[in-house]
Chain A
């Protein structure tokens, strides 16, 4: 009992540190997911509708990024970019690396969703005189969005987990903050558990939100 009280007491003492770390984790993840999704949509559109040249370039990009460990991307973004004169701080470099990683996954999700739509949909849209742009906006994209929502939510949760890797370049997100706290009070088991719990809460929230949107946008059948 006194152990628990002691733990709670330590949490209370470290509350601002924990909240700061949590806030940073959420900001990193949100920025990476947002930027990665926007970039990923462009990647997916290029892979689906681009000409052979664009398609090849983007294909190399996605295959390269997806074949590289995220940790390597984070380190490369931080150390290599500064070596070639692009000066990003650790936070910016980290978010960039995660966004790039996210974009390659979202790109594949978008491509898969668009290609899964039966050809008859495009033909029917053409047959009533819709241009390609109109067909895309009214017919293809709304169907693709519904199709890719579950996988996209999964990717978003992956990004939250990947944000812990920014601790290695000194971004004081939740994991690094937790390690700081542990180095002071040596309660490693308890505080790693707390961190794990907080990550779970974020990802569970994302998942519930995804399910909610899925329900809201479901087509009646």
Chain B
């Protein structure tokens, strides 16, 4: 498939002797918003982290925008690509984390600028302009000079999203970005993600917010014990789950 943005086939991952991904096959097109749901330990986050090589994986391939991620097949077998090459490939995706992971010693705008200056080799002025533009997009233009310690959790997460998206990635990865937030701060972060989705950004989200997954996703994937259990249109899936596992999962999660 040539119109595939992301194509994962036979993805296998072990933590020591434990196989956490047991052959995941998945593909998505540009502009799609796909949510990954499933109980904890099902491999959702691990799968997401394999896509930008924050996790090594032992089998299968990941292709993003035509590039094979992380490993290459050589005559002598599978070989990890060079660190420089992997660093370059990581910039193809943007990632937002559960714990935000902003750099505490840099102001909001410096956080966003860092990748632009160091990776994209932009001049500081140009980088600042782009950073400010994205901070404005996430509603934090007035907080540009604030340090992470001076921002609320929701604001920090919005800066983190701006930092990732300013790099102009092909695909945004969201790893449970609202799980560490106070309930009253979840809304502002989800709104930012919704706006990005409306702009046609390709996104892959691991989430526990079933209502949000239902509203924003063009497709939902249900991960179960290291494989994709079920996938499809959220409206169909959530209202008429095919498997008992999914029905049970939806019942225990807060989706109503």
Contact = CB atoms under 8 A, between A and B. Distances in A.
A124 B97 CA distance: 8
B249 interface: no
Contact of B119 (A118, A121, A128, A220): A128
A143 to B, nearest CB: 6
Of the listed residues A127, A131, A146, the one surrounded by the most CB atoms of chain B closer than 10 A to its CB is A127
A132 interface: yes
Contacts of B202: none
Nearest to B49: A123
Interface in A135-149: 138-139, 142-143, 146
Contacts of B167: 128-129
Contacts of B150: 220-221
Contacts of B118: 130, 134, 138
A120 B176 CA distance: 14
Instruction: Using C-beta atoms within 8 Å of the partner chain, give the interface range for chain A.
Output: 20 to 34
A219 interface: yes
Of the listed residues B114, B146, B164, the one surrounded by the most CB atoms of chain A closer than 10 A to its CB is B114
B231 interface: no
A15 interface: no
A221 B151 CA distance: 8
Contacts, number: 80
Interface in B89-107: 90-91, 93-95, 97, 99, 101-105
Interface residues of B, number: 31
Nearest to B166: A128
B115 A130 contact: yes
A128 B131 CA distance: 14
A77 B150 CA distance: 51
B27 to A, nearest CB: 22
A220 B151 CA distance: 11
B149 A123 contact: no
A208 interface: no
A126 interface: yes
B243 interface: no
Contacts of A130: 87, 114-115, 118-119
A134 B120 CA distance: 13
B163 A128 contact: yes
A129 B99 contact: no
A121 B95 contact: no
B86 to A, nearest CB: 9
Given A142-B105, A219-B105, A127 B147 contact: no
B52 interface: yes
Q: Which 10 residue pairs of A and B lie closest in terms of their CB atoms, listed nearest first? A: A221-B149, A129-B91, A128-B115, A124-B101, A120-B101, A127-B95, A129-B119, A131-B87, A220-B147, A129-B90
Interface of B: 52-54, 83-84, 87-88, 90-91, 93-95, 97, 99, 101-105, 114-115, 118-119, 146-147, 149-150, 160, 163-164, 167
17 contacts: A118-B101, A120-B99, A124-B95, A124-B103, A127-B94, A128-B94, A129-B90, A129-B115, A130-B114, A130-B115, A131-B87, A134-B118, A138-B114, A139-B114, A142-B105, A146-B105, A219-B149
